[in-house]
Amino acid sequence: MKGKIKKIVAGTALTVSLTIPNFAYSTDAAEMSNKDLQEMKEMTKSHFNLVWNKDSNGTTAPTFVSGKLSGEPVKGVRDIKQYINSKKDLYQLNPETELSFVKKSKDELGMTHYEFIQSVHGIPVYGAKFNVHTNNQDIVTAVTGKVHPSAGKNISKKQKADLSKKDAIDQAWQSINRTKEDTKAKKADKKALKEAGNLADSHVKNTAENAELVVYAQDGLSKLAYHVELQFIYPEPGNWQIFIDAKDGSVIDSYNAVTDARAANGYGYGVLGNYQELNTYLSNGTYYLYDVTKPMNGVIETFTSQNGTSLPGYRSSDSDNAFTAKSQRAAVDAHAYADRVYDYYYNTFNRNSFDNNGSSIRSTVNYGSNYNNAFWNGQQMVYGDGDGSTFAPLSGALDVVAHELTHAVTEHTAGLVYQDQPGALNESMSDVFAVFVEGDNYDIGEDVYTLGRSGDALRSLSDPTKYGQPDHMRDYVNTSSDNGGVHTNSGIPNKAGYLTINSIGAEKAEKIYYRALTVYMGPYSDFSDTRAALLQAAADYYGHGSEYQAVANAWTNVGVN
């Protein structure tokens, strides 16, 4: 709700050699007939500049007047007020009741600058500064600032705020869906941030909240309001400027005024020393792994866990946008690969994030201690650092990141329960889409699994038996561990996935799989249901030809009919 301001520029500053003024001012009749203006034009002849502001309620006032504006020297606040009073037609202010003096200063050119603020019954009109400038001979040479002549029209002298300051602050917090407590970094996070050099002392300061009673006069309004400021750095930088109606507590205007905040292009090195371009965000001199470039409702954001226990942890950040420290590698890959997987779903299926509603994709790295795993916890992705021999930090593999984010897609589509056959299918969908995303191999986790040994992986779709998984129903494992062997029996649908891709190619296969997952499968789909769902999806796209037959053959091959 920014002010809708119409600017009318009247007159131009002319060069000294010109003596005939050239006024190209607005043709608004009221402005033309302004007596003070005519006088001033006469007086200043060559150098005259005038800018009008028109409020959306139709009132106009000058926002910039310059030239030789007073005939006589004007010295001190009293003289200035008298001068303004003598040009009431133009300035439309009663200096005695509507201008509060703030300060005056003299500069190196000998000019004096008088600063006032417009007020209504002593209450400041927010942002309505009014400045009078005199030259070294005390002649008024400029009057600047945006006042609102009608600001007091609805506000009587007796009118009081119905809300207290505290009420206004409470309303403001509520309006941004936070509490003051939310914005206090956990003690451990603060310590870690400081140690990592990623948090200036000023950032650790407690949240600031403040409220001042003002007259809100933007957008043609004239309302008694509290100007509330909520400032904090955690969990994201905030400098909220919120105007709360002092009568009914409603929000008149609200915006986050964190300065110097913008999307940036950073880079860094991943787990394997790989170069990664990064979509980052600059706020108050610090760069964050925070990607605002996607057409999402949210963002892609990456955190680092403190002590391996906190979630989400603190925002991964860097002072110069070069995320090149060894300690940053896991976060660099988690961030860059989350972007890649988001892009895959968006570009391939027009799916906007895991919920197809553009929700934020959040990742935390450095989770646990020597933790050889990664997971989706229903809210975000979480990556261990591995123990250094079985696993390197798990975000270092694109297919692992794709696997985890696909769990989120599955949760929001088919909703496969994480047990028994539906659970094995949940796992398999994550592996199959990991293969689609990576595009050049049928292994899972090979980039971060046993760095000391090459040629191996966590799982293989082309040969699940390599890593102890069944590839046929005859070897289905009935167990109560691992939620009914979800990471074991996924080998069976994984092999069917491999056979399908190998037969018809990844482009057709991914369309069929996505349609089955999002249209034909449900929470309790088992292997047979999934075969049927894939066949239906194949028929929808390609009829009952070779693609359909390839899907049928793949599942027959693993013993599912």
Residue 487 touches which of ligand L5Q, Zn ion, Ca ion, none (CB < 5 to 8 A by kind)?
ligand L5Q
Q: Decide whether 374 or 501 has the Cβ nearer to ligand L5Q.
A: 374
Parallel, antiparallel, or unpaired: how do β-strands 262-269 and 317-318 relate? Answer: unpaired
**What is 74-101 written as a DSSP string?**
--HHHHHHHHHHHTHHHH---HHHHEEE
Nearest to 232 by CA among 206, 266, 262: 206
- Name which position in 133, 203, 403, 495 contacts ligand L5Q (CB under 6 A): 403
Out of 443, 471, 529, 547, the residue judged to bind Ca ion by CB under 5 A:
443
130 - beta bridge partners?
Answer: 116
Closest to Zn ion by CB, 430 or 469? 430
Is-catalytic flag, 404? yes
Q: Which of 41, 487, 495, 531 binds ligand L5Q (CB under 6 A)?
A: 487
CB nearer ligand L5Q, residue 331 or residue 458: 458
Which of 31, 98, 209, 404 is an active site residue? 404
Dig out the tokens for 474 from the structure.
């005859």
Contact status: 445 vs ligand L5Q (CB under 6 A): yes
441 binds, among ligand L5Q, Zn ion, Ca ion, none (CB under 5 to 8 A by kind): Ca ion
CB of 513: closest distance to Ca ion in angstroms? Answer: 17
Residues in 421-460 at the binding interface with Zn ion, rule: CB under 5 A: 430
Prior bond of 21 cis (ω within 30°): no
Interface pattern 363-402 for ligand L5Q (x via CB under 6 A) = ----------xx-------------------x-----x--
Q: How many residues does the chain have?
A: 561
Which H, E and C letters describe 176-221, residue by residue? Answer: CCCCCHHHCCCHHHHHHHHHCCCCCHHHHCCCEEEEEEEEECCCCC
- Nearest to residue 400, comparing CAs of 356, 443, 461? 443
Tell me which residue of 282, 272, 316, 307 sits closest to 447, measured CA to CA. Answer: 272
Residue with Cβ nearer Ca ion (140 or 461): 461
Q: Give backbone dihedrals phi and psi of 272, rounded to 5 degrees, phi first.
A: -100, 15
As given in the structure block, the two tokens for residue 169 are 């602050």
For 132, the 3-state DSSP assignment is strand
Residues 6+ apart with CB under 8 A from 245: 223, 224, 225, 251, 252
Dist CA 525 CA 229 (whole Å): 52
Q: Does 408 bind ligand L5Q (CB under 6 A)?
A: no
Q: Which stretch binds Ca ion (CB under 5 A): 192-200, 325-333, 392-400, 537-545?
A: 392-400
Residue 333 near which of Ca ion, ligand L5Q, Zn ion, none (CB within 5-8 Å, type-dependent):
none
Query: What residue 351 binds from ligand L5Q, Zn ion, Ca ion, none (CB within 5 to 8 A, per partner kind)?
Result: none
Stretch that binds Ca ion, among 100-108, 198-206, 396-404, 515-523 (CB under 5 A): 396-404
Where along the sequence are the contacts to Zn ion (CB under 5 A)? 430
Where along the sequence are the contacts to ligand L5Q (CB under 6 A)? 373-374, 394, 400, 403, 445, 458, 487
List the catalytic residues.
404, 487
Where along the sequence are the contacts to Ca ion (CB under 5 A)? 399, 438, 441, 443
